[in-house]
Amino acid sequence: MLGPFPVLERLRSWGFDESRLVLAEECWQALAPDIRVRAVPAAHPEIVRNPSGHLACVGYLIEYLGHLIYHAGDTALTQAVIDGVVMHGPVHTAFLPVNERNFFRERRGIIGNMSVRDAFGFAEEIKARQVVPVHWDMFAANEALPEEIRAVYRRMQPNFGLLLSPRVITLADVRITVIIRTLNEARHLSTLLSRLPEQDLGGLGHEVVLVDSGSTDGTLEIAERYGCRILHVGRKEFSFGRSLNRGCQAAQGDILAIISGHCLPTDRQWLARLCRPLLDDEANYSFGRQLGGVDTHFSEQRIFAKYFPESLDVGQKSFYCNNANAALRYSDWERLRFDENLTGLEDMELAQRLVGAGGRVVYVPEAAVYHHHQESWGQIQRRFEREALALRRIMPQVHVGAWDVARYFVTSVYKDWICAWREGIWPRTAWGVVRYRWHQYRGIYEGNRQHRILSHSEKEKYFYPE
């Protein structure tokens, strides 16, 4: 048992054999072939040493497979505490106590540790990649509220990930950063995040960066439990491109894998297959297949089948791609970045510039996800409207008039009905086909004839649910 001298003295008084007791010292001590540990000063509330110079309270630096983990234990923040860690850093993962010292607690005899701001400032100085706040929920008389921790993190926007009550902590070197945009995605997010650690990556490390734009349904709490690094984009500044740029900017990986918060990988090879063309230097941008779920509109299933076919030879042409299930090299994103003013199709716009500069976009049908849209009819129409508005910017030569819309509507309904009839589901899908295609092409028509910068109220209509 490893510990500072007061702990060892207590263990001796309880009858523990001396051969089992090891003094925690300020030097590296081997615990196993791949693990060694070093004591560093802890202040509780001050740094105390015995006449031999040994520390009464300690934190621990743990080196495991080349990564440095810091467990502060109970400690307030002093310069000596900071210096004791900085000289051995940078730290990969830091466990820091955030049940702060304050006058009223100390008047009651309660010794606290760091404030949330102290802990986060400390983490920045030791260059931590991720921080796990601890001790905030141990005792009611000495607690810190999770809402307070989150609020400070959002305000400070530090350069580390916040893991609040994480289920999973990864120490692997990051090659792939999975970026998820969310707005009230609690329904599917837990399933998505639980499937990411199951991905077979052949030893490649990954991290998850989640960019949220105002969720109120428990999305953030789910993300924290799974150890995501969480960033925020406010309603007034939101666009799809800006949200993605925030996530990409924070990424540590060479490959940026982008997935919607309501998409679910179909198997354990999804991420490796999606990223393989980029890792093998065969492409700059890849996108995978999308399949509907049991609750997907029949017409949308048909759209998925058209744009995300089963076979590669009838797959994507030119610069078409879709960020609901895609991967992009960090270096290409850094050079081109997503357009922050588009109302949609930021993926196609960047891909257009990428291909124009000699890059390559590839379709990977084996990298499939289930795409679950839960939209009202009005939301479906607005989605197609904002995408049509964006398409006018990307491909100004495309014009859709009233006659075109009428022809597309009739043709699409007819073909959907024929397909549904052959599958024996026409009676229960016929009216849904009419409504879906009506809102689709009405949205396309409205968006195609608009040529203006959106007002704030129009952005709210396009980007946020009713």
* Pairing assessment for the beta strands 130-134 and 35-41 based on DSSP bridges: unpaired
Residue 456 pLDDT: 47
Distance from C-alpha of 209 to C-alpha of 193, rounded to nearest angstrom: 11
213 close to 182: Cβ distance less than 8 angstroms: yes
Of residues 349 and 166, more confidence is placed in 349
Distance from C-alpha of 395 to C-alpha of 393, rounded to nearest angstrom: 6
Using one digit for the tens of pLDDT, what is the confidence trace for 60-107? 999 998 899 999 999 999 999 999 999 998 999 999 999 988 889 888
| Among candidate residues 2, 5, 11, the one with its CA nearest the CA of residue 61 | 2
Domain-wise residue ranges, the chain:
2-162, 174-374, 378-463
pLDDT band for position 400 (cuts 50, 70, 90)? confident
Half-sphere exposure of 273 (CA within 13 A, CB side): 17
| Among candidate residues 420, 419, 410, 466, the one with its CA nearest the CA of residue 440 | 410
**Does residue 277 have a cis bond before it (omega within 30 degrees)?**
no
Residue 203, both tokens: 């030893």
Q: Is the pLDDT of residue 256 over 90?
A: yes
397: amino acid identity, one letter: Q
Task: Give domain 174-374's CATH architecture.
Answer: Alpha-Beta Complex (3.90)
Residue 457 pLDDT: 52
Residue 350, both tokens: 């960047």
CA distances from 396 to 80, 286, 354, 393, 431 (A): 62, 25, 18, 6, 34
Distance from C-alpha of 367 to C-alpha of 312, rounded to nearest angstrom: 11
- Mean local confidence (pLDDT), 305-320: 74
Give the rounded distance of the alpha carbon of 27 from its chain centre: 37
Which of 104-113, 170-179, 227-236, 337-346 has the least mean pLDDT?
170-179
**Does residue 166 have a cis bond before it (omega within 30 degrees)?**
no
Tell me the backbone φ, ψ of residue 80, rounded to 5 degrees.
Answer: -65, -35
Instruction: Write down the residue that tokens 């009216």 correspond to.
Output: 431
- Mean local confidence (pLDDT), 205-225: 91
| Among candidate residues 449, 437, 442, the one with its CA nearest the CA of residue 399 | 449
- Mean local confidence (pLDDT), 329-355: 92
| Among candidate residues 169, 178, 157, the one with its CA nearest the CA of residue 70 | 169
Residue 451 pLDDT: 57
The full length of the chain comes to 466
pLDDT band for position 460 (cuts 50, 70, 90)? very low
Residue 465 pLDDT: 47
**Residue range 2-162 in CATH 3.60.15.10:** yes
421: amino acid identity, one letter: W
Using one digit for the tens of pLDDT, what is the confidence trace for 139-184? 888 888 988 998 898 788 888 888 888 777 777 666 899 999 999 9
